[in-house]
Amino acid sequence: MKATTDQASPKFVAPAARTVTFDQDGTTWVEQPMYTQVIYCLERVAVLAKAKPDLKDVEPFRTVLSGNREAMAKFTMPDLEEILAATLTGMTVEQFGVQVKDWLGTAKHPRFKRPYTELVYQPMLEVMRLFRANGYKIYFVTGGGQDFVRVYSEQVYGIPPEQVVGSAGGTKFGYDKAGRPMLTKEPKLLLNDDKAGKPEGIHLIIGRRPVAAFGNSIGDKQMLEYTQAGDGARLMMLVHHDDAAREYAYGPKSKIGTFSDELMAQSKKQGWVVISMKNDWKRIFAFE
Amino acid sequence: MKATTDQASPKFVAPAARTVTFDQDGTTWVEQPMYTQVIYCLERVAVLAKAKPDLKDVEPFRTVLSGNREAMAKFTMPDLEEILAATLTGMTVEQFGVQVKDWLGTAKHPRFKRPYTELVYQPMLEVMRLFRANGYKIYFVTGGGQDFVRVYSEQVYGIPPEQVVGSAGGTKFGYDKAGRPMLTKEPKLLLNDDKAGKPEGIHLIIGRRPVAAFGNSIGDKQMLEYTQAGDGARLMMLVHHDDAAREYAYGPKSKIGTFSDELMAQSKKQGWVVISMKNDWKRIFAFE
């Protein structure tokens, strides 16, 4: 890293170009047993059902409210889309921010019994700090919802809203009854920020190729390839979840955060650094 | 402005929230007799025709190559879309950057006989400098193409690529014949960054409401409304082109940069500052 800030070094990176991208789920915080935002959506259904009691008689909401995990695991894409639309759209962007903030203040992870925002990997916060100290600008490039992550990214990671690239739905500009302008969240996907969508999202929101990129799954492959294809000094890293005792151990067989054998082979071939959570991280969480 | 940086003032704006948005065409540079990017597209057709001579026999390219302005003025939306698709898509984002840069290096404005990048309003550069000196981050929010503006915005205005919000087409991630990752510009509009699309684009790319916004036409109305609707100190400004001698005088009747009577009435009612180019600006261009 030092070489990239030394003008005399062939690895020097101009200050304006010092851009680093991090995936979030599984790279900077826990993504098991389910993505945090999916848990939010499922738990949010109960809040909606208080205002609209009829929901409990309508699928897929009935199943969500029953708490039957096995039945939920069988949801089809249209089922999931209906749940996402009901919980992530239809409100103003400010209302959504309040809803997420309220939930984060009370929700607890089923295994760790702590707020989700405490399940952040301490070594990654340290890496971010090191990059910042060397003049790098840090972006999230996450498959998670851009508006969801923006609610807490500044407080938890020091990443401001304008540096969050995420899956993004459209908004619609309009006026409330008092004639005040507002932006309402729409059920229309503008950017699916996963796999090929990651470099595409980086171009749309940042317009620069990152110098370093961090991920943990097949969803990050294209972002790492795109990062590596630039000139000069490059750093590509993947977190490997191999620590069932302290966090989780999962890999090619996991639906969430799949780290396929092909990805491991590609990492070796292309010189991407694979971090073993078990062997390389002394401390995973700040609360340990 | 000083009050917004004074912690003791009720108008204080937290450093992280210091966000200012500028429209480009007609607000920070000349947009008459035609938007610069449209001129680019039309002139680019001639370059394309050198590689593909058959183009000269196919409409709407034949008309463009004929230079017949009257006939071009009658182009339908599908005609224009075909020209935009041919000149703005199909290449990698890097190739596009080179194409635009090459053109900017030689093209001249028909009236001023100078490069388009010199037709920048000096008072606006001074306003930007003043904002920057007070810790404000400056964004373009332009109906023009995001990738087009990014080519020169840093050099001409000091606005880096990640602070350019513009009309944006999709890109497609793929690999070239050598297996190197690349992003190709696609003929698919993701964001029409005009009128209601401006606050929508601000939310997508920045995720913060601006504290001040600058525009010059009905395309900027929603951005100014959205800016004004926030709490605390606010500044909304519109440039009025009323100087035919030094630049152009146009208003409600102009197709390009329409400043309607309704917009003028709304500006007065809502306290938006209308800048008279003729009376308020001693010097318009740096070269004067």
Which of B17-46 are b and which e, b meaning 16 or more Cβ less than 10 Å from the residue's Cβ? bbbbbbbbbbbbbbbbebbbbbbbbbebbe
* Chain A partners within 8 Å of B160 (Cβ): 16
Asked if pLDDT for residue B252 goes beyond 90, the answer is yes
User: By the 8 A CB rule, do B93 and B183 touch?
Assistant: yes
Asked if pLDDT for residue B73 goes beyond 90, the answer is no
Residue B149 to residue B155: CA distance in whole angstroms: 11
pLDDT score recorded for residue B69: 86
Q: Nearest 5°: CA angle at A222, between A216 and A227?
A: 90
CATH number at residue B26: 3.40.50.1000
**Mutation for A interface: B148, B204, B236, most A CBs within 10 A:** B204
Query: How far B163 CA sits from the closest chain A CA (Å)?
Result: 8
Closest CA to A128 of A170, A167, A160, A96: A160
How many C-beta atoms lie closer than 10 Å to residue B223's C-beta?
A: 31
Asked if pLDDT for residue A277 goes beyond 90, the answer is yes
* Residue of chain A minimizing CA distance to B147: A207
pLDDT score recorded for residue A195: 98
* Chain B partners within 8 Å of A16 (Cβ): 154, 160
Q: In chain B, which residues touch A (CB < 8 A)?
A: 16, 19, 93, 146-147, 150, 154, 160-162, 164, 168, 170-174, 180-183, 190-191, 196-197, 199-200, 203-208, 222, 225-226, 229
On whether residue B104 sits in a domain, the answer given is: no
pLDDT score recorded for residue A69: 86
Asked if pLDDT for residue A22 goes beyond 90, the answer is yes
On whether residue A45 sits in a domain, the answer given is: no
Please answer yes or no on whether A162 and B208 come within 8 Å at the CB atom. Answer: yes
ipTM, 2 decimals? Answer: 0.97
> A27: buried, middle or exposed (CB in 10 Å: 19+, 13-18, 0-12)?
buried
User: By the 8 A CB rule, do A37 and A76 touch?
Assistant: no
To the nearest whole percent, how much of chain A has pLDDT over 90?
95
Q: Which residues contact B28 (CB under 8 A, 6 or more apart)?
A: B22, B120, B121, B124, B125, B140, B157, B214
* Residue of chain A minimizing CA distance to B197: A173
On whether residue A20 sits in a domain, the answer given is: yes
Please answer yes or no on whether B146 and A205 come within 8 Å at the CB atom. Answer: no
Please answer yes or no on whether A196 and B206 come within 8 Å at the CB atom. Answer: no
* Chain A partners within 8 Å of B200 (Cβ): 170-173, 183
- Cα dist from B254 to A256, B4, B34, B70, B248, whole Å: 55, 36, 11, 16, 11
* Residue of chain B minimizing CA distance to A166: B204
Asked if pLDDT for residue A287 goes beyond 90, the answer is yes
On whether residue B96 sits in a domain, the answer given is: no
pLDDT score recorded for residue A171: 98
Find residue B215's DSSP bridge partners.
B238
Please answer yes or no on whether B162 and A207 come within 8 Å at the CB atom. Answer: yes
* Chain A partners within 8 Å of B229 (Cβ): 180-182
On whether residue A105 sits in a domain, the answer given is: no
Q: Strand, helix or coil at A189?
A: strand
Find residue A189's DSSP bridge partners.
A169
Q: Where residue A249 falls among pLDDT bands split at 50, 70, 90?
A: very high
Please answer yes or no on whether A171 and B146 come within 8 Å at the CB atom. Answer: no
Please answer yes or no on whether A162 and B207 come within 8 Å at the CB atom. Answer: yes
Asked if pLDDT for residue A73 goes beyond 90, the answer is no
On whether residue A40 sits in a domain, the answer given is: no
On whether residue A68 sits in a domain, the answer given is: no
pLDDT score recorded for residue B163: 98
Q: Note the pLDDT tens digit of each residue in A102-113.
A: 999 999 999 999
Amino acid at A255: K
Q: Note the pLDDT tens digit of each residue in A202-245.
A: 999 999 999 999 999 999 999 999 999 999 999 999 999 999 99
* Residue of chain A minimizing CA distance to B148: A207
* Chain B partners within 8 Å of A208 (Cβ): 161-162
Asked if pLDDT for residue A251 goes beyond 90, the answer is no
Q: Note the pLDDT tens digit of each residue in B95-126.
A: 999 999 999 999 999 999 999 999 999 999 99
> Largest Cα–Cα distance of chain B, in whole Å?
69
- Both tokens of A55, joined, read 């929901």
pLDDT score recorded for residue B7: 93
Query: How far A204 CA sits from the closest chain B CA (Å)?
Result: 7
Sign of CA pseudo-dihedral A254, A255, A256, A257: positive
* Residue of chain A minimizing CA distance to B145: A204
To the nearest whole percent, how much of chain B has pLDDT over 90?
95
Please answer yes or no on whether A172 and B203 come within 8 Å at the CB atom. Answer: no
On whether residue A173 sits in a domain, the answer given is: yes
Please answer yes or no on whether A181 and B208 come within 8 Å at the CB atom. Answer: no
Q: Where residue A2 falls among pLDDT bands split at 50, 70, 90?
A: confident
Tally of domains in chain A? 1
Section A252-267 average pLDDT: 96
Task: Calculate the average pLDDT of chain A.
Answer: 96
Please answer yes or no on whether A207 and B172 come within 8 Å at the CB atom. Answer: no
pLDDT score recorded for residue B1: 79
Asked if pLDDT for residue B2 goes beyond 90, the answer is no
Choice among A161-170, B24-33, B70-79 with the minimum mean pLDDT: B70-79
Asked if pLDDT for residue B226 goes beyond 90, the answer is yes
Q: Is the pTM of this model over 0.90?
A: yes
Residues of the domain holding A264: 2-35+119-280
User: By the 8 A CB rule, do A228 and A41 touch?
Assistant: no
User: By the 8 A CB rule, do B206 and B20 touch?
Assistant: no
pLDDT score recorded for residue B88: 98
Task: Calculate the average pLDDT of chain B.
Answer: 96
Asked if pLDDT for residue B4 goes beyond 90, the answer is yes
- Residue A189: alpha-carbon gap to chain centroid: 16
pLDDT score recorded for residue A229: 97
Query: How far A81 CA sits from the closest chain B CA (Å)?
Result: 21
Section A158-181 average pLDDT: 97
* Chain B partners within 8 Å of A154 (Cβ): 16
User: By the 8 A CB rule, do B247 and B84 touch?
Assistant: no
